[in-house]
């Protein structure tokens, strides 16, 4: 089952859970994913995230749930701030990229925003903060639109041999 192309319960989790736990987890995830799509970005303005963003973050939160189950030795949907802090600490010591760490933390923040909005819990403020400065979404443009146009046109002309009819007699001698 999926919502807007987002798998509600990814296959590794389906393979792991028994029937009752699978039904419970599916219900839990459906509510989370629907909230992300409809309200997640700004609940007061009823503005949701794009399916692309939700798909990536839903995958990361599912991985987090499985990590919690491994750490606690049992199934639960009652994840805590302590679980999230322990998970981010483990990420910090891991060899994953800065962007993976930052994206995972964004997914966990989204999860706890949902839990605060829908379940009345507290939002999570991570003890460790990951920043991905390697790829800023909005790079500074140092050239104006006109300057970029002039550079492009100059690059197209650079190294080109002019047409015989476009140069005068004196310049034709220089081209030989």
The domain locations on the chain are 2-119, 145-175
Q: For tokens 């995958």, name the residue.
A: 59
Helix (H) or strand (E) holding 104: helix 98-119
Binning the chain into helix, strand and coil, the percentages to the nearest 5 are 60, 5, 35
| pLDDT at residue 141, rounded to an integer | 57
pLDDT of residue 167: 75
- Residue 144, pLDDT score: 75
For the chain, residues with pLDDT lower than 50 are 138
Three-class secondary structure of residue 7 per DSSP: strand
Q: What is the pLDDT of residues 99-112, one digit of tens each?
A: 999 999 999 999 99
How far apart CA 2 and CA 43 sit, in angstroms, is 22
């Amino acid at each position: 089952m999926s919502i807007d192309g987002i798998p509600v319960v990814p296959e590794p989790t389906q393979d792991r859970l028994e029937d009752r736990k699978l039904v419970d987890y599916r219900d839990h995830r459906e509510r989370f994913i629907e909230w992300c799509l409809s309200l997640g970005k700004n609940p007061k303005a009823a503005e949701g995230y794009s399916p692309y963003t939700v798909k990536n973050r839903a995958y990361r939160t599912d991985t987090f749930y499985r990590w919690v189950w491994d750490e606690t030795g049992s199934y639960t949907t009652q994840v805590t701030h302590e679980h999230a802090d322990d998970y981010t600490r483990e990420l910090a010591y891991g060899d994953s990229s800065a962007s993976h760490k930052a994206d995972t933390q964004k997914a966990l923040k989204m999860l706890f925003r949902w839990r605060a909005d829908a379940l009345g819990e507290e939002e999570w403020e991570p003890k460790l903060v990951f920043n991905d400065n390697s790829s800023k979404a909005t790079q500074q443009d140092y050239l104006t639109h006109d300057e970029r146009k002039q550079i492009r046109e100059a690059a197209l002309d650079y190294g080109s041999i002019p047409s015989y009819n476009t140069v005068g007699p004196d310049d034709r001698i220089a081209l030989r």
